[in-house]
Amino acid sequence: MKALILVGGFGTRLRPLTFSCPKSIVEFANQPLVTHQIKALVDVGVTDIILAIGFQPKAMIEKIKQFEEEYKVRIICSQEVEPLGTGGPLRLAKEHLVKDNPEGLFFVLNSDVICDFPFKEMLAFHKNHQKEGTILLTKVQDPTKYGVVVSDSNGRIERFIEKPKQFISDRINAGIYLFNTSVIDRIPLEPHMLELNTFPTMAKEAQLYSMDLPGFWMDVGQPKDFVIGTTLILESIRTKNPSALSTGQNIIGNVLIDPTAKISPTAVIGPNVTIGPDCIVEEGARLKNVVMLKNSTVGAHSWVDNTIVGWDSKIGKWVRIEGLTVLGEDVKIKDELFINGCSVLPHKVISTSINEKGQILM
Ligand code: GDD
Ligand code: MG
């Protein structure tokens, strides 16, 4: 079977992390975001994955060999000269999607969505209704930033409205689809959004069905959702593979620590913390709701809450950071500062406290 993952787009809402690499290879729960999807696709029998690449192709192309070997799958890059949106990339990759595809089916995924990926159930549902497309739905509190779906009790989609201004329903497009290859011919080879064009048309023609997604779901393309998504996936790991989580006297709740990280036994970690390779947490530090990316450091006696610490960044001693702060790559926070809810661009040194929330430091 085949699948296409949409890994283009500029990832602007996940800045400053996406100044350093594409959104889909930022580590989420200590592995590149897209590898959660690759693994789940391989598990359901997908043998060929097409990565639809736009922005920052070099960083992604460099990773592909590694992903192919690790997950035992063929990966092809389909690279756009100009951004083709969420639909155009399917048309661009038509040849790859149609070739050696006797079942005539393929999965499509937004690269920033995370859940338990019920692909097996989706296949069964799709084969049962026998129409051209199936999309996964989930419920959210604020549907305005998503594609909203209205469907009947059999799952037949009656309306698809992308990012509506007014409340229509709280059931939204989870960004995970299963299509017959005939859907490709509905899409022109130009910038084209599935959500604005193809889905409303398919809904009118009764060719689009929805399946409710069981369990957790999150689009982790924004810092706030990235941190919430981390909490959700850690809870899912707790249910499915609890031995992957860290334990110890200084660990509270769900915590995932790479074996190469060095954590002082007097630092207290958790709940909802992931710590990547080569990270250091010094004595007496306190971390909750924190994502530490590779080779970052939290200094002695610092308090860090609701924060993403970028690669190679260094937080000094007796620092307090909170309020949804994101440190880009290679940021230094000097000792004894208070940092409240700000984004710090890569390679910046911070020497004074930031009390007011919402600032961007460059
Ligand atoms: N190759 C390629 N080229 N990929 C793209 C492009 C492009 O020009 N533009 C966006 N993408 C990719 C993004 O990387 C992401 O994986 C996916 O397409 C969706 O783009 P987002 O920018 O993340 O869209 P969104 O989150 O606002 O909305 C979409 O996802 C929601 C679920 O998270 C829509 O599909 C909504 O309907 C949906 O509810
Ligand atoms: Mg998104």
Query: Of 153, 184, 219, which residue sits at a domain end?
Result: 219
d(CA 98, CA 8): 21
Position 103 pLDDT exceeds 80? yes
Determine contact, residues 244/261, Cβ cutoff 8 Å: no
- Is any ligand 1 atom within 6 A of the Cβ of residue 8? yes
Mean pLDDT of 236-242: 95
Judge if 191 and 57 occupy the same domain: yes
Position 197 confidence tier, pLDDT thresholds 50, 70, 90: very high
Catalytic residue list = 163
The whole-number pLDDT of residue 191 equals: 95
The whole-number pLDDT of residue 63 equals: 87
Instruction: Point out the ligand 1 atom lying closest to the alpha carbon of residue 13.
Output: 22
Query: Of 202, 219, 236, which residue sits at a domain end?
Result: 219
Instruction: Point out the ligand 1 atom lying closest to the alpha carbon of residue 219.
Output: 33
Position 77 pLDDT exceeds 80? yes
CA 110 – ligand 1 centroid, Å: 6
- Is any ligand 1 atom within 6 A of the Cβ of residue 106? no
Judge if 107 and 239 occupy the same domain: no
Q: Strand, coil or helix: what is 294?
A: coil
Among residues of the chain, what percentage have pLDDT more than 90?
87
Mean pLDDT of 283-293: 98
Q: Which domain holds residue 262?
A: 223-361
- Residue keyed to tokens 């299509």: 179
- Is any ligand 1 atom within 6 A of the Cβ of residue 87? no
Mean pLDDT of 76-96: 94
Domain count of the fold of the chain: 2
Residue 64: phi and psi, rounded to 5, are: -65, -45
Judge if 213 and 313 occupy the same domain: no
Q: What is the pTM of this model?
A: 0.93
Judge if 230 and 183 occupy the same domain: no
Among residues of the chain, what percentage have pLDDT more than 70?
99
Determine contact, residues 319/337, Cβ cutoff 8 Å: yes
Judge if 156 and 15 occupy the same domain: yes
CA 3 – ligand 1 centroid, Å: 16
Task: Write the CA distances from 269 to 264, 286, 287, integer angstroms.
Answer: 10, 6, 5
**Residue closest to 108 by CA, chosen among 42, 67, 50:** 50
Residue identifier of the C-alpha nearest atom 9 of ligand 1: 9
The whole-number pLDDT of residue 361 equals: 84
Judge if 47 and 78 occupy the same domain: yes
Query: Of 219, 242, 268, which residue sits at a domain end?
Result: 219
Judge if 127 and 22 occupy the same domain: yes
Tell me the CATH number at 267: 2.160.10.10
Judge if 271 and 284 occupy the same domain: yes
- Is any ligand 1 atom within 6 A of the Cβ of residue 146? yes
Judge if 28 and 76 occupy the same domain: yes
Task: Write the CA distances from 239 to 41, 116, 243, 254, 272, integer angstroms.
Answer: 20, 12, 10, 11, 14
The whole-number pLDDT of residue 56 equals: 59
User: Hey, which of 86, 196, 220 would you mutate to test ligand 1's pocket, going by the most ligand atoms within 8 Å of its Cβ?
Assistant: 86
Mean pLDDT of 130-150: 95
- Is any ligand 1 atom within 6 A of the Cβ of residue 178? no
- Is any ligand 1 atom within 6 A of the Cβ of residue 143? no
CA 236 – ligand 2 centroid, Å: 21
d(CA 260, CA 291): 16
Position 357 confidence tier, pLDDT thresholds 50, 70, 90: confident
Mean pLDDT of 175-198: 96
**Residue closest to 29 by CA, chosen among 306, 229, 174:** 229
CA 10 – ligand 1 centroid, Å: 10
Judge if 209 and 243 occupy the same domain: no
pLDDT digits (tens, 9 = 90+) for 294-339: 999 999 999 999 999 999 999 999 999 999 999 999 999 999 999 9
Residue 140: phi and psi, rounded to 5, are: -135, 160
Stated length of the chain: 362
Q: Strand, coil or helix: what is 321?
A: strand
The whole-number pLDDT of residue 8 equals: 83
Position 62 confidence tier, pLDDT thresholds 50, 70, 90: confident
Q: Which ligand is nearest to the CA of 137?
A: 1
The whole-number pLDDT of residue 327 equals: 97
- Residue keyed to tokens 């000792």: 335
The whole-number pLDDT of residue 55 equals: 64
Beta strand 286-292 with 255-257 is unpaired
Q: Which helix (H) or strand (E) holds 89?
A: helix 88-92
How many other CB atoms are there within 10 angstroms of residue 18's CB atom? 21
Q: Which ligand is nearest to the CA of 24?
A: 1
Q: Which ligand is nearest to the CA of 173?
A: 1
Mean pLDDT of 232-247: 95
